[in-house]
Each structure stands twice: as C-alpha cells, then as structure tokens.
C-alpha cells in the first residue's frame, strides 16, 4: 500500500481553477423580476366583439421556465462539463452531458446537477423534468440521468486523478448554492492547524493534516485531506473518500474533528 502526500499549494491551485471555470452568471444567481408588456386591446365594435377581449393578448403557456427567484426550478445555461477539458487525468465519458437545475427564493438558493445521455439532453427533454418537480426538496430529474454524476467521469487511474476527482465532486455539489445552502464555499484547504484560535478536539488529534492519497494493491484508492470552516461555528473538518477499482464514484466521510474554543 503506497501513501503519497500532496502539496497544499497544488490542491489550492486545482480548486481555484475549478471555481473559475464553472462560475454561474449573475442573471442565474440573482435573477431580476421579469414581466411581459401586454398591448392594450382594441375597443369592441359589437357585442360579439366582447368575447375577443378575453383572448386578445393572452400569454401562451410557457414551455421553458426562465430564471426567477420565486421558488420555481429552472435550467441553467452553464456547461459544467467544460471544466474537465483542462484538468489532467479526468474527462467526461463520451455521449454524456452535465446539466444543472437551479432553485432561487430571494437571496437563498440551491441546485442539483445530473449526468444525462447526450441523446436525451435536448432542451425539450430537460424541460419535461420541470413539469414533474415540486418545491425545494423535490428537484427535477431528467430522463436517463445517472444517480451520481461521477459515474459519467473517466480518468487515467493515476493517484492524482482521484485527488482531483474529490475536489471536482465537492465543487460540482456546491455550484449554484447560495445563502444558507452554501457549505463547501466556507471551507479552506489546510495542511496544519490555523494558529489564530485554540482548538478543542472531538477525538484524538491526528499527527499529520497534509493531503494524502493511498493506492491499494487491488486498485482501490483512498483520499484524505482537511479543511477549516471559516464561518461560525468555526471548525476543522476531515474529508475521506474511498474509491473502488476503476471508478470515480466515492464513498465519502466529511466530519468535524475540532472546534474553535470560545474565549472565557
């Protein structure tokens, strides 16, 4: 079993590249109110013409939900799969596409990303899922979508490709989350304890907080790294991902291992 340490600087550069490559537009993060301008109907010339008033200027049923902040899911125009084109060792499998649905309610918002077969990724196909979704906790799921987007990711099997996959998955999950829904955004990668505050450990303190990758003889891979959550409650988190042989779908553990001790 080989263990390899990864430099914190390398991890930070990879994360910054991912974040810069998959930024949503301001119009999707904070949609502006939208309205239609309806032309004033002509005055009826007869009683028969009164019936036309109820049809004049009627708005056809919308087939595409536009960006809004009224709690209605809509399709993002972004293409998160492009980030994989410039990441070493990883790529999107042929005939698959990554799509995002967004939900906005005031300054709060969440999202869900799906891997969809290219043949089922036309706008009309993606719209169909909007007709069956509900509120925030009942997001749209397009036909043919994989339950885990990482099943649509291919790679060269190198140790570093799994390290990158661990960051990609978390950035994908966070993309489109705003307000109280944002979690990973508030985490900073670390390789040692921030000295500014005293820490209270929930269990025995680890001796080494540097990022690591372990490759097992059967082809399985384990990744471990640590972050500091910089909003209250400030805490140190341990992240452990276990990958099966020849897959970039991980079984993950994200847990708080130390909290900032309050001054007395």
pLDDT one-digit tens code per residue, 77-89: 999 999 999 899 9
pLDDT number for residue 60: 38
pLDDT number for residue 65: 75
- Mean pLDDT of all residues in 196-217: 94
- pLDDT band for position 71 (cuts 50, 70, 90): very high
pTM of the model: 0.87
Which pairing describes strands 2-5 and 199-201: parallel, antiparallel, or unpaired?
A: unpaired
Q: Which of 63-67, 126-130, 233-237 has the lowest mean pLDDT?
A: 63-67
Domain boundaries of the chain, sorted by first residue = 2-19+64-260
pLDDT of residue 58 exceeding 60, the answer is no
Residues with Cβ within 8 Å of 6's Cβ and at least 6 positions away in sequence, in order, are 160, 163, 210, 211, 212, 213, 225
Average confidence score pLDDT of the chain: 89
């Amino acid at each position: 079993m080989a263990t390899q340490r990864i430099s914190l600087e390398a991890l930070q550069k990879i994360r910054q590249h991912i974040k810069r490559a998959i930024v949503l537009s301001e119009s999707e993060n904070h949609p502006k109110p939208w309205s239609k301008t309806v032309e004033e109907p002509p005055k009826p010339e007869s009683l028969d013409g009164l019936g036309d008033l109820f049809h004049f200027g009627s708005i056809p049923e919308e087939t595409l939900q536009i960006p809004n902040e009224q709690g209605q899911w809509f399709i993002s125009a972004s293409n998160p799969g492009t980030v994989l084109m410039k990441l070493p060792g990883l790529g999107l499998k042929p005939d698959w596409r990554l799509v995002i649905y967004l939900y906005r309610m005031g300054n709060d918002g969440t999202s869900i990303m799906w891997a969809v077969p290219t043949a089922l990724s036309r706008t009309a196909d993606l719209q169909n899922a909007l007709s069956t979704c509900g509120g925030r906790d009942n997001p749209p799921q397009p036909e043919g979508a994989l339950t885990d987007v990482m099943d649509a990711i291919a790679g060269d099997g190198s140790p570093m490709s799994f390290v990158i996959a661990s960051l990609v998955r978390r950035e994908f999950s966070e993309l489109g989350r705003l307000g109280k829904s944002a979690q990973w955004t508030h985490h900073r990668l670390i390789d040692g304890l921030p000295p500014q505050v005293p820490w209270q450990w929930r269990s025995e303190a680890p001796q080494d907080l540097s990022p690591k990758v372990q490759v097992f003889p059967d082809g399985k891979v384990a990744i471990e790294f640590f972050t500091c959550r910089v909003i209250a409650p400030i805490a140190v988190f341990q992240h452990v991902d276990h990958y099966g042989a020849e897959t970039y779908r991980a079984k993950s553990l994200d847990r708080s291992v130390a909290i900032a001790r309050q001054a007395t």
